[in-house]
Amino acid sequence: MARLFAIRPNTALCLTALTLAALSFPGLASAQRGTGAEWRVYGGDAGHTRYSSLDQIDSSNASQLEVAWRWSSRNQGPNPLAASQTTPIYVNGMLYATAGTRRNVVAIDPATGETIWTYRIDEGKRLDGAPRVNSGRGVSYWTDNNGDNRIYVVTPGYQLVALNAATGHAITGFGDGGVVDLQKNLRTREGVAPAGSIGASSPVAVIGDVLVVGAALHIGLRPPSKVNIPGDIRGYDARTGELLWTFHTIPEPGEFGNDTWLDSSWSYTGNTGAWAQISWDAELGYVYLPTEAATGDYYGGHRPGNNLFSTSILTLDARTGKRVWHFQTIHHDIWDWDNTNAPILADVNIDGRPRRIVAQLTKQGFVFVLDRVTGEPIWPIEERPVPKGDAPGEWYSPTQPFPTKPAPFERQGFSEDDLLDFTPEIFTRAKEIASQYRWGPLYSPPSLQNASDSTRGTITLPSALGGANWEGGALDPETGYLYVPSVTAPSFLSLVPGGRSSDMNYIAGGGRGQIAPGVPIVKPPWGRITAIDLTTGDHAWMVPNGDTPPYVAERLKLPAENIPNTGRASRAGLLVTRTLLFAGEGTNGSGNFWVLNKKTGERIARLDVPSGTQSGLPMTYLHNGKQYVVFSTTGAGEPAEIVAFALRR
């Protein structure tokens, strides 16, 4: 039976609508409670908790895990050594993943690693210049619960393909022979063609019979123009591929939020897409989208105003595409601190009260925790004054939102206290590097590379890459613990004139600072895992991600025993089960895969990754009575692999 919730006036729903939602999206009401034997969604469940109730692998036997099988991406495209970020899904006794820079789809036997079928599309020139030519992060699954089972993938050339899950054959009744051209029905800008400009690398969200598709464009550090394609959100019919609705992330005149784009900047500005994973609540019928910044990343003088719906959590009705609520995490983003990971949905008792929450991890080190029905903050979020810059023509928001709980999971802002100080000499060198730049509290804005005060730009902490990033976190719905992987590293944000390369007044310049190659100027840990108890909003523990790289002592000319555990400057890929927390060191980590006590962060076991570092996020499933833990790896000079660990039986 559908329940009626109190919702703000602009999001009011009648009982009839809620009843329709329950009827339209059956069978997934518990989507935010993790997975069991299967892993049907990229993030484990529709809420992307990355939690599984499986417990065959526990603290007593985790050290006995061994490689069960390895699947190689060799011969899966023109660039066999390309890294892979795919996370397989496991449905009806089969694994499905993407592979190679053509983003082939493969079905893999979950017990042996044998290839069952492969789908390949040759996009020809369409692939040239596409913004996300990579393996993608995976595929999506849909069923009508009556024998029609499908796999969907978004190709690098921005086409949506529907495949028969059993055979890998294209579904001829979907789009044109199984393919929907996502470059069609787009808002365009004069002089900007969709081909080579827009794409996507994350799986589509499948909520009932609707496929929700995001968008990604070229990185906006040095855009050739202030004019670009908007990253609108679209919903398609899962059976036919028919376009059902479009939501304008840069609102047109008459649409809500248009007045936040001053001087008609809505008419030419682009980006503001949702390139990260999309979460959904099937019982409510809502999709939750993390959006990126508008064109360009560090200079917003051509787009004055707060710029809705850039860098926001955007909640839409999946049937209609209508806005339910939104929360902008940064007004007028000029730091490239876009929202890069799936909002995490869960049902948690907070301060003794059951709450249906959405938690958004951010690059700047915040967790925004909101009621996922209404968008109201669980704990107060305060608008606080932030510094104003002096870049010519820039528009600055006077305030930004600051959550009062949880506390930031990363150091924020930059001062001398952040400088590396293993020895007085190292501290002096770090201070000399930092003195060439401006610095200050969080949201200190980018500045000119050759400013009037002779500085070369602005140091920000966390960096423009985060903090948190696309890896996202994991949430244990049984305990309310949220596990967050992050990196502690500065960015050196500078602005230079657009000149001949861009019609923008300013674009990103250069800037960097290291004590030695690979050694940042800030104190460690450089990579960390933080556990946050969402029942109270308090931090539970923090541990470094991995161990100090061997080269640090050598390059600093210090005894290794004089260096604390710095961790790796890499975000861990996390998986939490009923018994354990699994943590691969991530794309910039070493060949270690850690098994941790999820209550304390204490290390239980270390597994050797046979083919290099872990580049995809781990998942788990139960097949023929055996639990497997699987993830993608990338080795130096070797094709990417998918590796499965299990207990010997």
Quick: pLDDT tens for 445-461. 999 999 989 999 999 99
Looking at every residue in the chain, the average pLDDT score rounds to 93
Lowest mean pLDDT among 130-139, 145-154, 171-180: 130-139
pLDDT in tens, 435-448: 999 999 999 999 99
Q: Note whether 186 and 213 are within 8 A (CB).
A: no
Residue of 10 and 453 predicted with greater confidence: 453
* Residue given tokens 């996390």 in the structure block: 574
- Tokens 């960096």 locate to 463
Residue 258 exposure: Cα atoms within 13 Å on the Cβ side: 10
pLDDT tens per residue, range 514-548: 999 999 999 999 999 999 999 999 999 999 999 99
Query: What is the predicted pLDDT for the residue at 525?
Result: 98
* pLDDT value at 25 more than 50: no
Q: Which has the closest alpha carbon to 228: 308, 159, 297?
A: 297
Question: What is the Cα–Cα distance from 147 to 91, expressed in whole angstroms?
Answer: 13
d(C-alpha 234, C-alpha 287), whole Å: 11
Residue 19 has pLDDT above 80, yes or no: no
Angle at 52 between CA 47 and CA 54, to 5 degrees: 165
Our CA angle for 40, 44, 48, nearest 5°, is 125
| pLDDT exceeds 70 at position 34 | yes
- Provide the percentage of residues in the chain whose pLDDT is more than 70: 95
Instruction: Between 31 and 94, name the one with better pLDDT.
Output: 94
Going by C-beta distance under 8 Å and a sequence separation of 6 or more, which residues neighbour residue 166?
A: 149
- Cβ atoms of 521 and 490 within 8 Å: the answer is yes
Residue 600 structure tokens: 């304390």
The pTM assigned to this predicted structure is 0.94
CA 530 – CA 540 distance, rounded (Å): 8
Q: Is the pLDDT of residue 6 over 70?
A: no
Query: Environment class of residue 116 by beta-carbon count within 10 Å: exposed (0-12), middle (13-18) or buried (19+)?
Result: middle
Q: Taken in order 187, 193, 195, 198, is the CA torsion positive or negative?
A: negative
Flag whether pLDDT at 506 surpasses 50.
yes
Query: What is the CB neighbour count within 10 angstroms for residue 118?
Result: 15
Average pLDDT over residues 40-61: 98
Residues 376-411 have pLDDT tens digits of 999 999 999 999 999 999 999 999 999 999 999 999
Mapping DSSP to helix (H, G, I), strand (E, B) and coil, where does residue 391 land? coil
Interval 592-636: pLDDT, tens:
999 999 999 999 999 999 888 888 999 999 999 999 999 999 877
Q: What is the mean pLDDT of residues 276-294?
A: 98
**Nearest C-alpha neighbor of 121 from the set 100, 96, 139:** 100
- pLDDT for the residue numbered 635: 76
